[in-house]
């Protein structure tokens, strides 16, 4: 037998009515392949079994006390682990359809495991189910493990087909810290259907999952909601009062990846203003807890969206928020709380690129973003200067309104006018003298 059996990107059908379908003294790895193995003693017998990447596997064993998948260490080698991820597996046998002599982990897979005489599924070590796996168990005795039974995001439908009133699970699973029970319906030995969450509440129901002959429950990741305050300041910068306007913030430079990667996370940060003044708002981030933790783990930045609405100036302020989780105990139960610090930041160029750095060491209580409305009022029609106000005909100076000789208006040409006037006077005087002389001459002639 080979030390390792690997099946990748191929179809294999094995029919072993007198023995083992696939056997290995090492690891059997099925990677993106379709495998059918129907056998007498075991569909797959190996030290480790890994089924992954969209594989489709159907295995079975017909002999009494045998398993469809028997995975166990041997000859001193370590192993006994079954790992099923993102694949479809059907396992059916007299004893547990899937038996791991160490740990059994199912993640993001569809698994149906059936036993006609024993537990549907069993692990001698730890049993872990998550990744939104869908697991259907059908057996005569409880399924479970000897180690820790932990469930994250999953749907598990476990049935006990024994005539006796025996539960379907050997123990209640521990539900991972970021996950919670969202659905739990049980059927007891008398055939009564019970909604455990409605009947007992979520916390009590978590401890009752192993008490029923039939149990169907769903666990999902917890949702987290973080809220941060901000203030919107609106000022009048023109002639007209600011109109009603909706403003929105956005986050960027998140802890892990880009904010666009988090399609399950909702970010809301809008405020509607109506006139000059201050308006309070909340930036809220809501979504799966693990994703919220990834976004906030190393801090994230906040700024205002510039939507380009006419007559508005937009704030260029940027803030960075750092979040911290801490655990508190209340009434014997622990709860996770969170705190945050808000710092104004600015973009700084360094030798390694541009980074946002704090502008002060003391956090602020709230983010503040200022907007100015700058619209100017249009001039009124009667305020325009006239373009055709020529003087009317009757506004011309009258002919007899000429200034008198002694009342010549003083202008910048007064000196020239004075000289001209003096010349006229001199000319008039000369004319007078000439006339007088002529008269005198006439008188002399008479004599």
DSSP string, 71-128: E---TT----EEEEESSEEEEEESS-SEEESS-EEEES-EEEEEESSSBSEEESS-EE
Q: 366 and 231 in contact (C-beta within 8 Å)?
A: yes
Q: Taking the domains of the chain in order of start, what are their residue ranges?
A: 4-221, 223-373
Query: Tokens representing 211?
Result: 């008490």
Alpha-carbon dihedral 417, 422, 427, 432, rounded to 10 degrees: 130
Q: Which fold has domain 223-373?
A: Immunoglobulin-like (2.60.40)
Pairing of strands 214-221, 154-160: antiparallel
Which of 200, 195, 147, 137 has the alpha carbon at shortest distance from 167? 137
Residue 38: phi and psi, rounded to 5, are: -110, 125
Report the alpha-carbon distance of residue 248 to residue 307 in Å, rounded: 9
Give the model's pLDDT for residue 386: 56
| Residue carrying the six token digits 């009603």 | 244
Report the alpha-carbon distance of residue 114 to residue 161 in Å, rounded: 10
Q: 263 and 318 in contact (C-beta within 8 Å)?
A: no
Which of 92, 135, 88, 99 has the alpha carbon at shortest distance from 115? 92
Query: Tokens representing 431?
Result: 């004319």
Q: Is the dihedral of CA 436, 438, 439, 443 positive or negative?
A: positive
Which of 7, 93, 114 has the alpha carbon at shortest distance from 50? 7
Alpha-carbon dihedral 218, 151, 87, 143, rounded to 10 degrees: -90
Query: Tokens representing 50?
Result: 């890994």
Residue 399, CA distances (Å) to 395, 403, 405, 427, 446 in order: 12, 10, 15, 27, 48
- pLDDT tens-digit profile, the chain (447 residues): 446 777 777 899 999 999 999 999 999 999 999 999 999 999 999 999 999 999 999 999 999 999 999 999 988 788 999 999 999 999 999 999 999 999 999 999 999 999 999 999 999 999 999 999 999 999 999 999 999 999 999 999 999 999 999 999 999 999 998 899 999 999 988 899 999 999 999 999 999 999 999 999 999 999 999 999 999 999 999 999 999 999 999 999 999 999 999 999 999 999 999 999 999 999 999 999 999 999 999 999 999 999 999 999 999 999 999 999 877 776 666 677 889 999 999 999 999 899 999 999 999 999 999 999 999 988 776 655 555 555 555 555 554 555 554 444 454 455 444 445 444 445 455 444 444 444 444 444 433
Report the alpha-carbon distance of residue 385 to residue 357 in Å, rounded: 55
Query: Tokens representing 111?
Result: 């698994």
Report the alpha-carbon distance of residue 64 to residue 117 in Å, rounded: 9
Report the alpha-carbon distance of residue 440 to residue 438 in Å, rounded: 5
Query: Tokens representing 443?
Result: 């008188």
H helix or E strand, kind and range, residue 219:
strand 214-221
Query: Tokens representing 328?
Result: 């508190």
Q: 183 and 220 in contact (C-beta within 8 Å)?
A: no
Give the model's pLDDT for residue 330: 67
Measured distance between the N- and C-terminal CA atoms of the chain, rounded to whole angstroms: 181
Give all strands of the β-sheet with 244-252 in edge-to-edge order. Answer: 270-274, 244-252, 300-304, 318-330, 333-350, 353-358
What is the pTM (predicted TM-score) of this model?
0.72
């Amino acid at each position: 037998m080979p030390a390792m059996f690997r099946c990748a990107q191929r179809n294999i059908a094995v029919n072993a009515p007198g023995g083992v379908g696939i056997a290995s003294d090492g690891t059997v790895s099925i990677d993106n392949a379709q495998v059918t193995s129907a056998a007498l003693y075991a569909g797959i017998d190996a030290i480790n079994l890994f089924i992954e990447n969209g594989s489709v596997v159907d295995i079975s064993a017909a002999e009494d006390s045998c398993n469809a998948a028997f995975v166990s260490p041997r000859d001193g080698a370590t192993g006994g682990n079954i790992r099923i991820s993102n694949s479809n597996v059907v396992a059916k046998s007299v004893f547990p359809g899937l038996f791991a002599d160490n740990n059994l982990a199912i993640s993001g897979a569809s698994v149906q495991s059936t036993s006609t005489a024993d537990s549907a599924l069993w692990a001698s070590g730890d049993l872990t189910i998550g990744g939104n796996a869908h697991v259907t168990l059908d057996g005569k005795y409880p399924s479970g493990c000897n180690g820790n039974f932990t469930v994250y995001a999953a749907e598990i439908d476990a049935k006990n087909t024994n005539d006796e009133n025996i539960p379907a699970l050997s123990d209640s699973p521990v539900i991972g810290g970021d996950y919670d029970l969202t659905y739990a319906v049980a059927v007891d030995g008398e055939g009564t259907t019970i909604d455990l969450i409605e009947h007992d509440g979520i916390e009590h129901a978590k401890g009752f999952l192993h008490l029923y002959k039939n149990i169907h429950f769903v666990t999902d990741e917890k949702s987290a909601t973080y809220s941060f305050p901000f203030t919107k300041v609106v000022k009048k910068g023109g002639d007209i009062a600011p109109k009603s306007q909706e403003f929105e913030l956005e986050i960027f430079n998140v802890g892990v990846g880009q904010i666009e990667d988090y399609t399950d996370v909702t970010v809301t940060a809008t405020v509607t203003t109506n006139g000059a003044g201050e308006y309070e708002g909340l930036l809220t981030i809501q979504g799966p807890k693990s994703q919220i933790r990834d976004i906030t783990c190393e801090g994230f930045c906040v700024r205002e969206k510039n939507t380009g609405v006419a007559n508005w100036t937009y704030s260029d302020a940027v803030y960075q928020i750092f979040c911290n989780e801490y655990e508190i105990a209340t009434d014997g139960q622990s709860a996770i709380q969170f705190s945050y610090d808000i710092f104004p930041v600015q973009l700084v160029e360094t030798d390694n690129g541009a980074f946002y750095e704090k502008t002060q060491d003391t956090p602020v209580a709230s983010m503040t973003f200022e907007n100015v409305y700058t619209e100017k009022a249009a001039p009124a029609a009667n305020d325009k200067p006239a373009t055709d106000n020529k003087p009317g005909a009757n506004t011309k100076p009258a002919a007899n309104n000429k200034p008198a000789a002694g009342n010549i208006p003083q202008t910048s040409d007064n000196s020239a006018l004075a000289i001209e006037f003096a010349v006229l006077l001199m000319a008039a005087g000369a004319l007078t003298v000439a006339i007088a002389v002529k008269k005198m001459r006439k008188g002399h002639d008479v004599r």
